[in-house]
Structure 1
């Protein structure tokens, strides 16, 4: 490695053969490491994209399940809204049944009197 001054007054820097090879190897190592880092970043992005698509699929599945659950809850709510009416009807039927039993008792008693 030489530092020479030319006639125009400027300093010029010169490398020898060994220094040129060393500089070339360092430059090649830098380029290779940059390429390796770039490939790692791309691989990481691919991994993140796969994870993101899996999460999106999961969200879609959960959304579908939520819609089904919402429909089922609406059906249950509709069915449960009929419960008070059913209770009233059952009560009316029980009253009718009791009346019929009393009427049957009276009929049996009147038959017995004959």
Structure 2
């Protein structure tokens, strides 16, 4: 039974190190944020009241911060001035994202 857990932990460590090695040359300029876990991301930082936890993290890391929820990278904006910057000045960057298949089925081919 012990060898199963040892193998699982070894595989997780191997893939996380492999991911860091592959992404070594692809450094992106991301906002500051807390340190996350390899597979879970930053879910361990959120508790019973996530809005209070995000407020505490925003006081520490700034109004714009980078977090990962699972494997989904997320940029969190928590100040009105930064939200205005994202939504008014850089809206074309965020407006042309690809549509999901689910929105076609649920929203009558995006007509609603």
Please state which band the TM-score falls in when normalised by the shorter chain.
Answer: under 0.3
Larger helix share, 1 or 2: 1
TM-score, with length taken from structure 1: 0.22
Q: Which has the larger radius of gyration?
A: 1
